[in-house]
Homo-oligomer: A and B are copies of this chain.
Amino acid sequence: MSGANNGRPFVVRKFVRFSHCDPAGIIFYPQYFMLAHDCKEDWFREGVRYPFEQMITADRRGFPIVKLDAQFMRPSRLGEELSFEVGVRAVGATSLKLTYRCVCGDEERMRMHSVLVMTDLDKGTPLQIPDWLRERFASFHVGEHP
């Protein structure tokens, strides 16, 4: 259950940009899901080494979301630098469970759990996650209860 990343999450740093912020001067909450998606995209490129242009454009596979829950602890403000983490909670036959944490300094700002299903984008049907991909996911396994 470890490997290249020794069971640690993938981490990427993101600024709170002008385009993320609302008239109250803080992140407009749907932008957290845009940022989490960017983080997942960075993880597939740099961590899993299966970039979206290969997976989606060439192989016509995707990971649409089935469900999620999220908590928003404190607001994030224009110009703050956020540390976004994504880790694997579990890998099923066709499903992938992820945990995201967004932290600024010592302060947790957002936490999300999501469940995705690997899907044939042309047929819209679930796909078995191949072993080579399952192994790459496993090296970012952070356990069920982070």
Which of A22, A34, A71, A79 has most B Cβ within 10 Å? A22
Residue numbers in B under 8 Å from A22 (CB-CB):
18-19, 21-23
Minimum CB–CB distance from A89 to chain B (whole Å) comes to 16
Find out whether the CB atom of A23 lies under 8 angstroms from the CB atom of B57: yes
A78-B30 in contact given A18-B37, A66-B71, A67-B71 (Cβ < 8 Å): no
Find out whether the CB atom of A29 lies under 8 angstroms from the CB atom of B33: yes
A56 adjacent to chain B (CB < 8 Å):
yes
Secondary structure at chain A's binding surface: helix, strand, loop or mixed? mixed
Residue of chain B at shortest CB distance from A75: B64
Find out whether the CB atom of A52 lies under 8 angstroms from the CB atom of B124: no
Find out whether the CB atom of A38 lies under 8 angstroms from the CB atom of B57: no
Offer 28 A-B interface pairs, CB within 8 angstroms, sorted by A. A17-B38, A17-B41, A18-B56, A19-B34, A21-B22, A22-B22, A22-B23, A23-B25, A24-B56, A24-B62, A29-B33, A29-B64, A30-B31, A30-B33, A30-B34, A30-B37, A52-B79, A53-B78, A53-B79, A53-B80, A54-B79, A57-B77, A57-B79, A64-B75, A66-B71, A66-B72, A67-B70, A67-B72
